[in-house]
Amino acid sequence: MTEVEVILRLALYYIKNGLTTENVTVSIDGAHVKTGNMTHFDIFGFMDIVGLRKVDAEPERWQGEYSLDGYESHIIVSSTSGIGDVNIHYVDGSIIYAECKKGKNDKRGQEYPLMREAIGQLMTGCDFVDGVVPMVAVPYTDKSNELASRWSELTQIKNLGIRFALIKDAGEIVFY
């Protein structure tokens, strides 16, 4: 699962489950979508598959505003660095600030370094003020599940309030 898919599936989960009543902002690194003439992720194809429709005045740009039929909240896609991958205004008033990473179904075990990188990005990019919920979002694998389960019990992770979201292929999410 690519980082772009992790980002968009996390945003969709909160919208589809009524966990936000506001627009969700996501920031996608343009290099994850396309470099030069090489497309790395068919973002328009993915948006179509999950039911997102472009609703702004620039249909040829992948950045912009997307709606999901039957839901008030939209997804605002940008490629702005330094703002976190996903920002969600949760219904309880808190703000989820998520750093997302990709994952592959192979034997190399990328979960450990990628999840640690996301924690590091939260530590250096997220302002841990009241009402902000820092979150690491990665694809669900047995290893990411084991790490999130173990790390979520560490005192330092608990004290900082870092949560883990493990994204499954069909959009289901396991939270720690």
pLDDT tens for 152-163 read: 999 999 999 999
pLDDT at 82: 86
Distance (Å, rounded) from C-alpha 76 to C-alpha 47?
Answer: 13
pLDDT reported for residue 108: 67
More confident residue, 100 or 127: 100
**Which pLDDT band holds residue 105 (cuts at 50, 70, 90)?**
low
pLDDT at 60 over 80: yes
Determine the pLDDT at residue 27. 97
Placement of tokens 């940008």 in the chain? 78
- Structure confidence at residue 167 (pLDDT): 97
> Which residue type, as a one-letter code, is found at position 108?
R
What pLDDT, on a 0 to 100 scale, did the predictor assign at position 106? 58
What is the Cα–Cα distance from 173 to 176, expressed in whole angstroms? Answer: 10
Tell whether the model's pLDDT for residue 126 goes beyond 70: yes
pTM for the structure as a whole: 0.94
pLDDT in tens, 1-21: 999 999 999 999 999 999 999
Residue 107: is its pLDDT beyond 70?
no
CB neighbours (10 Å) of residue 20?
20
88's CB contacts (< 8 A; 6+ apart) are 10, 11, 14, 19, 20, 24, 95, 96, 98
Q: What value does the mean pLDDT take over residues 84-102?
A: 96
Q: Name the amino acid, one letter, at 80.
A: T
